[in-house]
């Protein structure tokens, strides 16, 4: 549990340092990200859905798609991946600071 919290904090700090657009002030997004990182995809979907209803954000759409994918809901996941790329055609997890870019 402590390791997961540390990873979550490091992701948020890395994103802030990189100037990424992670909405760290929104409780639904942060709760979704925490659940996602803990592989609790059902809870992540619930929180990301709440966040997306308030603000269409490509990061939330992408993470929602991946959570659905991990639950075997491939068709629904594909729709969320498509929405992420419709909002930002250049979207990537590296762009928002959630993964390290490889040169």
For 91, counting Cβ atoms within 10 Å of its Cβ (0-12 exposed, 13-18 middle, 19+ buried), the class is: middle
pLDDT tens digits, one per residue of 37-82: 999 999 999 999 999 999 989 999 999 999 999 999 999 999 999 9
| Measured distance between the N- and C-terminal CA atoms of the chain, rounded to whole angstroms | 32
Question: Quick one: fold of 2-87?
Answer: 1.25.40
pLDDT tens digits, one per residue of 77-91: 999 999 999 999 988
Place of tokens 């657009």: 21
Output the pLDDT for position 80: 95
């Amino acid at each position: 549990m402590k390791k997961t919290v540390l990873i979550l904090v490091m992701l948020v700090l890395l994103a802030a340092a990189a100037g990424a657009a992670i909405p760290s002030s929104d409780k639904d997004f942060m709760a979704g990200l925490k659940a996602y990182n803990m592989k609790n995809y059902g809870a992540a979907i619930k929180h990301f859905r709440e966040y997306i209803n308030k603000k269409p954000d490509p990061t939330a759409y992408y993470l929602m798609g991946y959570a659905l994918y991990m639950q075997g809901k491939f068709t629904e996941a594909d729709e969320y991946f498509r929405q992420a790329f419709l909002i930002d055609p250049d979207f990537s997890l590296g762009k928002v600071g959630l993964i390290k870019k490889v040169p």
